[in-house]
Amino acid sequence: MKKNYDFSDKSINMKSFDIIPAIDIIDGKCVRLTQGDYAQKIVYNENPLEVALMFEDIGIKRLHLVDLDGAKKGQIVNYKVLEKIAGSTGLVVDFGGGIKTDEALKIVFESGAAIATIGSIAVKNSMLFFSWLEKYGAGKILLGADVKDEKIAIGGWLENTDILIFDFLKKNQIAGIKNVFCTDISKDGLMQGASIDLYKKIIDQFSEINLIASGGVSSVNDLDELRFIGCSGVIVGKAIYEGRITMKDLKKYIAC
């Protein structure tokens, strides 16, 4: 049953809440997938910079840029798109997809990313990931935790694991991670609502982690619920491109 929250209750802890639009890239174009399925691809704009500028124009400060080609291939592909957006806007860009080596991470930062999003390598080679965390600092790393049935998925969501999200976060919190975004693959792209219960469980167990929600967001009510339960931000993609959440809607949250 869907919970009805009283958003007028000023006694709740409303910490800062970032709206972070997502631009997913395949073949240099802005696309969206459904549940991580590369066969269910919709191209929304052939010029990602144009989309980024649109967000910046309404006051958005953060951008989540995903190299889906890189995630699938296991190495960075669309870093030129990152260069163009970082060089032509003032957006704080986090970039992920295919970051597997020291050299790849170096390219990401040299191409203008303020933050590197790391997912698969944190599972497959945790010692390398921890070395990056130590070298660059927790503020430069955003841990991507993609889940299906509360278990981690990697490799552009193409590979499932038996690692529970809670065990994964505990291990990385001990190593010093502070910033995490979590995507429920079963919700992503369907616009049927965010995984509020999952995020609430994570926040209850890991209060010191800044949790960014991702996947399933379909309306401003989802944004309100995520802010209410204590998320530090939300990544929004398809709901914007499909017109479910308008630019006017987003403006209301920019000062949060």
Residues serving a catalytic function are 24, 146
Distance of CA 49 to the CA centre of its chain: 18
Nearest to 25 by CA among 78, 95, 89: 78
Distance of CA 141 to the CA centre of its chain: 12
| Spatial distance between the Cα atoms of 59 and 251, rounded to a whole number of angstroms | 7
How many residues make up the chain in this entry? Answer: 256
Nearest to 99 by CA among 55, 60, 69, 61: 69
Nearest to 30 by CA among 75, 63, 58, 57: 63
| Spatial distance between the Cα atoms of 179 and 201, rounded to a whole number of angstroms | 16
| Spatial distance between the Cα atoms of 227 and 17, rounded to a whole number of angstroms | 6
The continuous run of DSSP H or E covering 158 comes out as: none
The answer to whether 203 touches 213, Cβ cutoff 8 Å, is: no
